[in-house]
Structure 1
Amino acid sequence: MRRRTLIQVAGGVTVSFILSACSSLNLTNSGSATPAPGAKGEPVMLTIRHTQVKDTQKKRLAMLQEVVKNTEAKVPGLSITLDGVEDKVNRFEKLRAEMAAGNPPEIFDLFGGTDTKDYVKANRLLDLTPILNELGLMDKFYSFEEFTVDGKIYGIPMAGYVEGLYYNKKILSDNQIKPPQTWDDLLAAAAKLKAQKITPFALAAKDSWVINMMSNTMWVRTAGPSSIEGFLDGSKHWTDPDVVDAFEKYNLLVKKGYFQEGSLALSYAEQQNKFSSGEAAFMFDGSWANTPLLDPEKSAIVKDIGFMSFPDMGGPGDGYINGGWSNAYGFSKKVTPAQLVAIKEFIVQMYNESMQKRQLVEEGMPPAMKLQDTSNVNPLITQILDVFANSKGAFPAFDSRIQTKVREKLERGMQELVGGRTDPVTLMSEIQKQQDASNKEETHTN
């Protein structure tokens, strides 16, 4: 059901990411969510945990600061504190610890899928279903699926994402290479580029999650978009030949030296730096990477960037793409009535046509809401949205579904594979052992 819904959503996005038939938001008619001051004029305090802390996210932070200012202006006595934390630290360390202790901030960056389900199970998240209905927002979004548990919604997506292959149009043209449509095309292109002393793929593997973006898409290509659900219910195994095949092919890229040299010592930013400097022909990354790539102060290839879905590999997952709406704002269940009023006003100020359009135009963030106007969008962003719209269907990132211990073991294992310290058959055997243990543990706790 989950995959079908994502496919239907992606299939419903047109070349311009759909000019929605829905009417514009009516909320702006009143200009607010009818806020009220704190009890007896007392101040109302809110903390917003955000992840807009990188130099490349200054515009996103500025938009958030504007939303905060507008929210404070609408709610008498309201004071909002912004708490910026790097996204992975927030997701895997800080927020997790706060949830365990029962003291998360009132508003926070929330990842969908497993994270949301875990926090709902711990009774930490505010049910947003009645609020979305009250504010008339329920039908304004493409999908709440990543944040829906037992029919209730616990997160409001900020933007969409899609993952694929960025390519340097000039490098390919200069070497008489067309954007590869098949795995064999990709191998032939990589071989030709390496012979010309051009790095085929930018890769920074110190941050282990980066490696698994491309490997995730590759095993979906060979094993199909339902493979993750199969791992979870036991109908599919990491040791199945069609899964191992993807990792064998990934290992071939490693052995052939097609990845950036010294990648295990390089942090994520170095992957983008290698590509944006014009020193690599391809880079597998998410739509969020377009911001630094299109910044003329940071990128030497602003006019030479293309984006495509990963080439077909001859399996049941050809044509599908990793994409969806998995990043959101979540809200603590433990809030006062006055804080709840402020939260509603924050939602009004954050989620509207104007703000979503600004995110799309200024930052290239695929909208979470159905926009009426998608004009003045950078050509690269349009291409990214077109690739998403024209895919056969979408599948969620594996780390939004798979258990934490399996994810961690796969991340460490892929670093070992890149470093030549393991092989695909051995790695998949180890991953399956952890998968069996995690599935068993989940069965006992449910």
Structure 2
Amino acid sequence: MKKKLITVLTTVTMLSAILSACGGNKNEAAPSTSPSPSPSESSSPSPSDTPSSPAAVERFDVSLRHIQVGELQRFRKAILDEVVKKSEAEVPGAKFEMDAIEDSFNRWTKLPAEMAAGNPPKIFDLFGGPAEGQKYARANKLLDLTPILDELGIKDKFTDYSTFVVDGKVYGLPIGAGSEGWFYNSDILKANNIEVPKTLDELEAAFETLKGKGITPIAMGSQAAWVPFMLINTLISRYAGPDIQAGVADGSRKMTEPEVVAAFAKYGEWVKKGYFTKGELGIDYTGQTNEFIAGKAGFLFDGTWRISTFNEDGTGKALHGKVGYFAMPAVSGGKGDQTAVNYNQNNGYGFSSDVNDNEKAAIKAFIKNLYSEEYQARGFKEDGVLPSMKVDPAKLTSDNPIMSEVLASNAAAGTVFPHFDSLVPGPVNGEFEKQIQNLIAGKASPEKAADEIQKVMDSELAALK
């Protein structure tokens, strides 16, 4: 039976009952019932009876690495700041030292170097899967969170943290979930008599119309390869079927299959036809978003976390009420379920295994405060982040029209598929990103790109035998 993704609301409720409210313990001293001594019975207090000032609490620092950098991330950063403030108030002496770093640099350069040297931050942004979360856990670099989750009573509140699990123990927690699809500028489409595309042919016809009018069809910044990777990941699933990622990861499928090569060829065709931003390899993710915000491109392929950008108080408020969303259309002749959508919850927080009792207490407070129904609901409403925990459906309402289209898109999906980087080892992901940029630069053919990725995958699979 296909895994039916009804809506975000059913996604977070179909696995268990609604999240129950959990009250905190308050210890209050009971009033004394013994009579007060009369003045004649009182005597001068001895030195040992004299009230003393509370003992000073010595400050200790807890390093916290996050990727909420820049204006595009300000809603998530605001939530993080609140959580830190609450946690500091609950743990005497605790002071969280915030360290903001760009996502890709943290993920592929900074954190791996710190792990190798044995000095990662105490709390840090972490991706699950064999390339990162599970790899660090097997190397004993991550704190086993299982006892903490049991103590807090939230172990069963998550919808899926499987990419952070090793040997039944939990080593990281996803902060939210997201789908990926097409955002579009409704004013641009309307001005050029373009209907919202329902097929790949209609989508490509829209690209051609915009290009003919001197408008960039697709805003794209490929300086960091994970950005175009999102689109290629979905194209591959449309051509080769939604089970291709898992198949390549376990060796039952190959990147060199004709359908995978066809997906690479389609992307290469769009590059050659000039559908993407000119000079995309020199443009970063923020630049890509800014181009779309400025009304210079008709379409943007991105994650649903981008929704908040187009709110009335978002950085893209100029497009408020002028942006729509739809999933990748079906590919004629494509394998498998053509309604499938990308759905991931692999990004979250990990914690160093090298912590003392004070630091562990601060970590426990951080987890208790951040991974709560309150902030899951706020992340959904304020930042367009789909929940990674089971939340009361009544708290997941939204009057945002883009979110409504996302929910409708997900409701129409017969199944879901993940992103390759959540399933494959780091060297495979690195080769994939390298070949994406080679394809864009005209340095690799679709066949060559697929072949080089498969070679690294074969090598990694052989090493596991």
**TM-score scaled by length of structure 2:** 0.86
- Change in Cα spacing, 1:185 to 1:18, as seen in structure 2 (3 Å) is farther
Q: Pick one of 65, 74, 78 that aligns with 2:81.
A: 65
* Counterpart in the other structure of 1:100: 116
* Counterpart in the other structure of 1:219: 236
Deviation at 1:112, TM superposition (A): 0.9
**Contact 2:160 2:388 (C-alpha < 8 Å) held by counterparts:** yes
**Contact 1:9 1:142 (C-alpha < 8 Å) held by counterparts:** no
CA distance in 1, matches of 2:190, 2:26: 51
* Counterpart in the other structure of 1:191: 208
* Counterpart in the other structure of 1:36: none
1:359 aligns to 2:379 (yes or no): yes
Deviations along 1:153-201, one digit per CA (max 9) or x if unpaired, are: 1111111111111112222223332222222121222122222222211
Q: Pick one of 320, 334, 345 that aligns with 1:302.
A: 320
Q: Pick one of 420, 424, 437 that aligns with 2:459.
A: 437
* Counterpart in the other structure of 1:22: 18
Q: Structure 1: which amino acid aligns with 2:426?
A: T
Report runs of 4+ in structure 1 exceeding 6 Å deviation. Answer: none
Matches within 5 A, 1:373-384: 373-384=395-406
* Counterpart in the other structure of 1:119: 136
CA distance in 2, matches of 1:358, 1:347: 16
Q: Structure 1: which amino acid aligns with 2:212?
A: A
Deviation at 1:394, TM superposition (A): 1.9
Q: Equivalent residue of 2:318, what SS?
A: coil
CA distance in 2, matches of 1:431, 1:23: 42
CA distance in 1, matches of 2:24, 2:97: 28
* Counterpart in the other structure of 1:48: 64
* Counterpart in the other structure of 1:80: 96
1:312 aligns to 2:330 (yes or no): yes
* Counterpart in the other structure of 1:412: 434
- Change in Cα spacing, 1:247 to 1:223, as seen in structure 2 (3 Å) is same
**Contact 1:16 1:382 (C-alpha < 8 Å) held by counterparts:** no
1:137 aligns to 2:188 (yes or no): no
**Contact 2:157 2:390 (C-alpha < 8 Å) held by counterparts:** yes
1:282 aligns to 2:299 (yes or no): yes
**Contact 1:15 1:390 (C-alpha < 8 Å) held by counterparts:** no
* Counterpart in the other structure of 2:45: none
**Contact 2:184 2:323 (C-alpha < 8 Å) held by counterparts:** yes
* Counterpart in the other structure of 1:35: none
Deviation at 1:218, TM superposition (A): 0.5
**Contact 2:8 2:386 (C-alpha < 8 Å) held by counterparts:** no
Q: Pick one of 148, 160, 164 that aligns with 1:147.
A: 164
Q: Structure 2: which amino acid aligns with 1:374?
A: L
**Contact 2:84 2:96 (C-alpha < 8 Å) held by counterparts:** yes
Q: Structure 2: which amino acid aligns with 1:333?
A: S
Deviation at 1:398, TM superposition (A): 0.7
Q: Equivalent residue of 2:228, what SS?
A: helix
Q: Equivalent residue of 2:202, what SS?
A: helix
1:422 aligns to 2:444 (yes or no): yes
CA distance in 2, matches of 1:172, 1:276: 15
Deviations along 1:340-363, one digit per CA (max 9) or x if unpaired, are: 222211111112122222222222
**Contact 2:12 2:389 (C-alpha < 8 Å) held by counterparts:** no
* Counterpart in the other structure of 2:349: 329
**Structure 1 residue ranges without an equivalent (≥5):** 33-38
Percent of matched pairs sharing the same residue: 41
Q: Equivalent residue of 1:94, what SS?
A: helix
CA distance in 1, matches of 2:419, 2:356: 35
User: Root-mean-square deviation (CA), in Å?
Assistant: 2.4
**TM-score scaled by length of structure 1:** 0.90
Aligned length: 431
Q: Equivalent residue of 1:431, what SS?
A: helix
Deviation at 1:299, TM superposition (A): 4.3
Q: Equivalent residue of 1:82, what SS?
A: strand
CA distance in 2, matches of 1:12, 1:292: 22
Q: Structure 2: which amino acid aligns with 1:50?
A: H
Deviation at 1:113, TM superposition (A): 0.9
**Contact 2:306 2:384 (C-alpha < 8 Å) held by counterparts:** no
Q: Structure 1: which amino acid aligns with 2:106?
A: N
Q: Structure 1: which amino acid aligns with 2:349?
A: Y
Deviation at 1:430, TM superposition (A): 2.1
**Contact 1:162 1:324 (C-alpha < 8 Å) held by counterparts:** yes
**Structure 2 residue ranges without an equivalent (≥5):** 28-54
Deviation at 1:42, TM superposition (A): 4.3
Q: Structure 2: which amino acid aligns with 1:411?
A: E
- Change in Cα spacing, 1:15 to 1:378, as seen in structure 2 (3 Å) is farther
Deviations along 1:310-343, one digit per CA (max 9) or x if unpaired, are: 1111321411111121111111122222322222
Q: Pick one of 356, 360, 366 that aligns with 1:346.
A: 366
